[in-house]
Amino acid sequence: MNPFSSGTRLRDMIRSIRACKTAAEERAVVRKECAAIRAAISENDQDYRHRNLAKLMFIHMLGYPTHFGQMECLKLIAASGFPEKRIGYLGLMLLLDERQEVLMLVTNSLKQDLNHSNQYIVGLALCALGNICSAEMARDLAPEVERLLNSRDPNIKKKAALCSIRIIRKVPDLSENFMYPAASLLKEKHHGVLISGVQLCIELCKASKDSLDHIRRNCTDVLVRILKDVSNSSYAPEYDIAGITDPFLHIRVLRILRILGQGDADSSETMNDILAQVATKTESNKNAGNAILYECVETIMGIEATSGLRVLAINILGRFLSNRDNNIRYVALNILMRAISVDTQAVQRHRTTILECVKDTDASIRKRALELVFLLVNDTNAKHLIKELVDYLQVSDPDFKEDLTAKICLIVEKFSQDKLWYLDQMFKVLSLAGNFVKDDVWHALIVAISNAPDLQGYSVRLLYSALQASLEQESLVRVAVWCIGEYGEMLVNNVGFLDSEEPITVTESDAIDLVELALKRHTTDTTTRAMCLVSLLKLSSRFPPTSERVKGIVTQHKGNVELELQQRSIEFASIIQRHTGIKSTLLERMPVLDEASYLSKRAGSTEKTASGDPKSTASGDSKITSSVKVPNGVAKPPTTAAIPNLIDFSIDDAPVPPTSTTASEPPNFMMDLIDINLPSSPPSGGEPAPVINRNIIDDLLSIGTSPVENGLPASSSFPTIAKSTVPETKPAPVSDLLDGLSLSLDSSSSPSREEEHKSITAFQSGNLKITFSFRKQPEKLQATLIHATFTNLSSNAYTNFIFQAAVPKFIQLHLDPASSNTLPANGNGTITQSLTLTNTQHGQKPLAMRIRMSYKVNNEEKLEQGQAENKERKTFSLSIAFSSDSHSVERELFAVASHFLLSSSFELVPRFYKP
């Protein structure tokens, strides 16, 4: 015999493990035991197999790997004796789960055991099957289980019934096989069989409509009688719990009655009497009785009950709510939640009690109550409830603040018709729990402030005071700093003073002091600091005398280790220093943010339901709103302020027609440019500016088709413009184009070709679609500007999306930053990115490009690559210009603008291209 395996008994092993004082000791003991067991396994030792498996189970419970013991279970199950089988099945259930392949090997043994003559062995097999069977096993063994439902032994019957539940859960198709045997189980007297029979019926009702109808037709009366019998039965010691006979059976029958009575007046009618009886006669001084009452109330709420019965249920609920036992109060809140759809008035009556529960010491009760309050809020009580909740926010548990804040914000936003009230409540929440306020909430607040011109002064003064009081709350700092930057002069000059306000005196340098303080606080994060810098920059223009001081502060960050801050401070310093002439135009106040489209966009992004009407996503096109959110939450509202303004500057500075200056800029900047350049045109996209029509039309390929159009948040107006003017200018651009495409296009068919090349699908896989639209300048035929649009076709959002491209040596590639690095699911949004290809051998070789997309889905890295090509013509061949002589100022500005947009894709990776 093996010297190891004879070793310790199970008891001794447990003892020695328990004697271990350190984790290391325990590991050593377990390692030794495992070595012995492995040795025994490899020697195929039979005498101690069951003992070894028992040891393994204990080791498994401690969390050590025990996969090597799985086969031992199978061997024990295959043995003939009951003791071996018993331990074998236990090991099977503990060490394996339904997803392991090994489990398939046991199917045959299970089948034999299900047909065994010994009832206990059959019981073991049923138990194992019920606990861990997989869909395949369920299919294979369902006939055996079905047969056992008719067994004479009640213990086998009940086990077979529960086993059938598992089978139906795994393979709902099998449910009709169980319909008749299940109904016949309800005729039994044995409580175990009844309980499992009723449960099986519940499962069948859930699984198929047919079974539901069948059971409703044939079993409702039987079930009512079971309930009547058990509830009227005299003292039965075997089933008695706290003076009630078999509460488990009560509850299960009540539950199935709820399912049967739902939406069915006839069967509801049948059960009215017995429900009334249970509701009135059940004692409520013990948990068991309350459990029955709880189930009974739920059933009354669920079925088509008479109004008298409803009143009864509501009264029980009232009793529950005022109960001192926390468990009872918890379940009361639970039912109220479901009752609210049935009888709102009755629930409203308990509002005060529910509000008290929000302040309970018990986290579970608080959470339930808060959910309920959220459902209870309506126009009339919103202000009162919010006042209570905000007051409570002050003293609540830190753990609870997050939930509470989120709910308060939701309610406040829902009832935000009264702007002043909305702003007041939001400011309170920001100063009390600003660290828990979600980004989209304070984004919405900023949009709201920008849309309320008469409250801007009030807001900025209030925020200033709040910020002065505390710099602890991150999102308060952000909103306040943004407002101070935008509306600094309202703060100092007390513009738009409201009667309710307390007057404050703030000097220009006070405002700068405060922002500086926020900037320098060590806990402030990078985004907030960046916002502080923008705010300071804006203040330098609002208060010209402070310009030097601001420059000083900004300059201190020139050496910051954070790239973001460093870059901003260098750029801002140079704006203050070198471009004073245009500074004020550059730093003008943000145009009013489009509230409607922000809200709809936000709804679209939070609701993630792909079914959303395409119109609503399309309405998010408006340039400014989209800029608020697009770049992955990195570009914050102040940033958006900066982009248009900066571009604005480029136009003022360089009066060259936009065509040439902006050739190398990504189209979305171009669009900003267009909008800002023409103050008369509203900021929403799609409004073509006549001046620039020509140069866009220069390339017909840029004409966007619909996916591009409603997908592009930032530059959608671009294709629109092109399209709208195509008819007038058709002849000229076509010839330009064909010049570039001369390799394979014949000009005679140009009108139809031009349609084909509006935009092409460059790449498409199951998850991702990329469309390219092309643009070219007539004077630089070598260069092609490609506007790429990425659409996510899968149902998961992609993060960290990076597009890379590689080209042969004769082509030069220049990638502009992407509009975002997050790609929403189901094509609910797109990323756009521009690239410029310069073909040095224009006219001799066609363009070709390899592309690679890397992204994360559910934190899993994915990589896709392919050859960008035009479906119609294998490889697209275009030629492109390269604007090498960009104006230096422009380049700098471009850098300023680009870094707001997360310039992750600046570096190009041509290394994987093999010509």
Partner 1 sequence: MIHFVLLISRQGKVRLTKWYSPYAQKERSKVIRELSGHILIRGPKLCNFVEWRGYKVVYRRYASLYFCMCIDANDNELEVLEIIHHFVEILDRYFGSVCELDLIFNFHKAYYILDEVLIAGELQESSKKNVARLVAAQDSLVEAAKEESNSISNIIAQAAK
170 to 209: interface string for partner 1, x by CB under 8 A: ---------------------xx--xx--x----------
CA–CA distance, 253 with 295 (Å, rounded to integer): 10
74 to 113: interface string for partner 1, x by CB under 8 A: -------xxx--xx--x--xx--xxx--------------
CA–CA distance, 31 with 463 (Å, rounded to integer): 63
Q: Which residue in 29, 102, 241, 634 binds partner 1 (CB under 8 A)? A: 241
Q: Is 223 in the site for partner 1 (CB under 8 A)?
A: no
Contact assessment for residue 754 and residue 705, using Cβ atoms and an 8 Å cutoff? no
Stretch that binds partner 1, among 172-180, 282-290, 492-500, 706-714 (CB under 8 A): 282-290
Q: Is 131 in the site for partner 1 (CB under 8 A)?
A: yes
Q: How many residues bind partner 1 (CB under 8 A)?
A: 70
| CA distances for 673 relative to 162, 666, 714, angstroms | 69, 11, 12
Task: Using alpha carbons, select from 778, 793, 772, 915 the residue that is nearest to residue 864.
Answer: 793
310 to 329: interface string for partner 1, x by CB under 8 A: ----------------xxxx
Q: How far is the CB of 83 from partner 1 (least distance, A)?
A: 4
Q: Is 757 in the site for partner 1 (CB under 8 A)?
A: no
- Complex with partner 1: residue 223 or 760, whichever CB lies closer: 223
Q: Is 295 in the site for partner 1 (CB under 8 A)?
A: yes
DSSP state of 619: G
Coil, strand or helix: which one is 782?
Answer: strand
Pairing mode, strands 780-792 and 768-777: antiparallel
Q: How far is the CB of 319 from partner 1 (least distance, A)?
A: 14
Q: Is 841 in the site for partner 1 (CB under 8 A)?
A: no
Stretch that binds partner 1, among 21-29, 241-249, 591-599, 673-681 (CB under 8 A): 241-249
Stretch that binds partner 1, among 289-297, 612-620, 791-799, 904-912 (CB under 8 A): 289-297
Element holding 764 (H helix, E strand): strand 759-764
- Complex with partner 1: residue 90 or 445, whichever CB lies closer: 90
Q: Which residue in 6, 42, 150, 364 binds partner 1 (CB under 8 A)? A: 364
For tokens 């340098």, the residue is 509
Contact assessment for residue 317 and residue 297, using Cβ atoms and an 8 Å cutoff? yes
CA 796 to chain centre: 9
Q: How far is the CB of 495 from partner 1 (least distance, A)?
A: 49
Identify residue 659 by its one-letter amino acid code: T
CA–CA distance, 347 with 314 (Å, rounded to integer): 9
Close Cβ partners of 435 (under 8 Å, ≥ 6 residues apart): 472, 473, 474, 475
DSSP string, 754-814: HHHTSEEEEEE-SSEEEEEEEEEETTEEEEEEEEEEEEE-SSS-EEEEEEEEE--TTEEEE
CA–CA distance, 17 with 29 (Å, rounded to integer): 7
CA–CA distance, 169 with 186 (Å, rounded to integer): 20
Q: Is 61 in the site for partner 1 (CB under 8 A)?
A: yes
Go through the chain and tell me how many residues it has: 915
Q: How far is the CB of 288 from partner 1 (least distance, A)?
A: 5
456 to 485: interface string for partner 1, x by CB under 8 A: ------------------------------
Element holding 240 (H helix, E strand): strand 240-241
Q: How far is the CB of 108 from partner 1 (least distance, A)?
A: 21
Q: Is 163 in the site for partner 1 (CB under 8 A)?
A: yes
Q: Which residue in 274, 288, 651, 770 binds partner 1 (CB under 8 A)? A: 288
CA–CA distance, 159 with 179 (Å, rounded to integer): 17
Q: How far is the CB of 60 from partner 1 (least distance, A)?
A: 9
Contact assessment for residue 705 and residue 785, using Cβ atoms and an 8 Å cutoff? no
Close Cβ partners of 240 (under 8 Å, ≥ 6 residues apart): 246
Stretch that binds partner 1, among 59-67, 454-462, 528-536, 589-597 (CB under 8 A): 59-67
**Sites of contact with partner 1 (CB under 8 A):** 11, 14, 18, 54, 57-58, 61-63, 65, 81-83, 86-87, 90, 93-94, 97-99, 120, 123, 126-127, 130-131, 155, 158-159, 162-163, 165-166, 169, 191-192, 195-196, 199, 238-239, 241, 246-249, 251, 255, 287-288, 290-291, 294-295, 298, 326-331, 334, 361-365, 367-368
